[in-house]
């Protein structure tokens, strides 16, 4: 059987911040085109894994591959082609308050040297349509609801056409209708664009709605990786304790 192609691979990762060790021998493979959700308690280092993919945090030991390229040890220049493959949706959206929706959307394109105004308008219009917010180009972030800001943040992330999208608590603070919208968008990006998605969340309902597989981070490593059905049935103690604590 042919080994699946991996979008991201963590191998034997150790990481400590001062005396606080957060990973010891952590390994995890994310397959190309899948939606994988990383679960775990607060302070276990879920968001740090996302930062490591972007090269924002370096491991103390081990190696990380993104799209077949080892990123550990690369300098800022070496990381540029890797970062162009990866987009990140931050927990708070991280929109620029002083820029219109349009200028927020095309900011990463301008940074990459795209200056043709028609191309910028076409790309912005396309992603706004994808997230159900066509016609909002000239609005300011302060005029948008929390759910709309999350969708604009996602539109900005996909505007440069990344291969991998990282989500840091994408549904935090949203009402059930907007949670469903974000879940549907994550699923549609995989279906329509083949994007690999890596999601960090505490929202069990959302995780089970979108994920192909779930990974449990506990005891400074990944203790379980399974599809939705097997994850729910897992007898691994950390998984069971987490599910029982989080489910009503």
* 70 part of a folded domain: no
Are 217 and 194 in contact, with CB atoms under 8 Å apart?
no
Q: How far is Cα 10 from Cα 224, in angstroms, rounded to an integer? A: 14
- Residue 2 scores a pLDDT above 60: no
* Coil, helix or strand at residue 177: helix
Q: What is the pLDDT of residues 161-187, one digit of tens each?
A: 899 999 998 888 888 888 888 898 899
**Cβ contact 240:232 at 8 Å:** no
Residue 148 has pLDDT above 80, yes or no: yes
Number of domains in the chain: 1
Report d(CA 168, CA 61) in Å as an integer: 24
Q: Which residues pair with 226 in a beta bridge?
A: 214
> Over the stretch 213-237, which tens digit does the pLDDT of each residue have?
999 999 999 999 999 999 999 999 9
Q: Is residue 174 part of a domain?
A: yes
Start-to-end CA distance of the chain, whole Å, equals 41
**Rounded to the nearest 10 degrees, what angle do helices 117-130 and 101-111 cross at?**
120
In a domain, residue 4? The reply is: no
The CATH number assigned to the domain holding 220 equals 3.40.50.300
Does the residue 193 lie in any domain? yes
CA 52/CA 25 separation, integer angstroms: 15
Whether 219 is covered by a domain: the verdict is yes
Mean pLDDT of the chain: 89
Give the rounded percent of residues in the chain with a pLDDT score beyond 70: 97
Residue 112 falls inside a structural domain = yes
Give the position of tokens 């779930």.
Answer: 214
Q: Could you tell me if 197 and 35 are in contact, meaning their C-beta atoms sit under 8 angstroms apart? A: yes
**Any residues with CB less than 8 A from the CB of 6 and at least 6 apart, and which?**
29, 30, 31, 32, 65, 68
CA 48 to chain centre: 12
Q: What is the DSSP letter of 5?
A: P
Portion of the chain with pLDDT greater than 90, in percent: 46
pLDDT at 132: 86
Q: Is the pLDDT of residue 31 over 70?
A: yes
Q: What is the pTM of this model?
A: 0.89
Q: Is residue 7 part of a domain?
A: no
pLDDT digits (tens, 9 = 90+) for 185-217: 899 888 888 899 999 988 888 999 999 999 999
pLDDT in tens, 84-117: 899 888 776 678 888 899 999 998 888 888 888 8
Does 69 map to a domain? no
Angle at 173 between CA 172 and CA 177, to 5 degrees: 95
Separation in Å, CA 85 to CA 2, 66, 182, 189, 191: 24, 9, 21, 15, 18
E strand or H helix at 213: strand 213-218
Question: Structural domain of residue 193, as residue ranges?
Answer: 32-59+80-246
Query: Is the confidence at residue 1, as pLDDT, over 50?
Result: no
Cα separation, 128 vs 80, in Å, equals 26
For residue 23, the surrounding DSSP H or E stretch is strand 20-31
């Amino acid at each position: 059987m042919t080994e699946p192609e991996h979008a991201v691979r963590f191998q034997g990762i150790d990481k400590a911040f001062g005396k606080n060790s957060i990973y010891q021998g952590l390994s995890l493979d994310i397959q190309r085109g899948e939606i994988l959700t990383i679960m775990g308690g607060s302070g276990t280092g879920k968001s740090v894994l996302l930062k490591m993919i972007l090269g924002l945090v370096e491991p103390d030991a081990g190696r990380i591959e993104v799209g077949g390229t080892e990123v550990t040890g690369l300098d800022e220049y070496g990381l540029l082609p890797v970062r162009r493959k990866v987009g990140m949706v931050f927990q708070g959206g991280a929109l620029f308050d002083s820029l219109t929706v349009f200028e927020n959307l095309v900011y990463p394109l301008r940074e990459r040297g795209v200056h043709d105004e028609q191309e910028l308008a076409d790309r912005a219009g396309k992603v706004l349509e994808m997230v159900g917010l066509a016609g909002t180009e000239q609005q300011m972030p302060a005029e948008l609801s929390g759910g709309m800001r999350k969708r604009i943040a996602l539109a900005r992330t996909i505007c440069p056409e990344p291969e991998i999208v990282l989500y840091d608590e994408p549904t935090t603070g949203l009402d059930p209708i907007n949670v469903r919208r974000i879940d549907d968008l994550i699923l549609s990006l995989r279906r329509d664009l083949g994007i690999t998605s890596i999601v960090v969340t505490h929202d069990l309902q959302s995780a089970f709605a979108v994920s192909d597989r779930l990974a449990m981070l506990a005891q400074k490593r990944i203790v379980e990786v399974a599809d939705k059905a097997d994850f729910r049935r897992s007898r691994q103690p950390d998984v069971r304790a987490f599910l029982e604590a989080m489910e009503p």
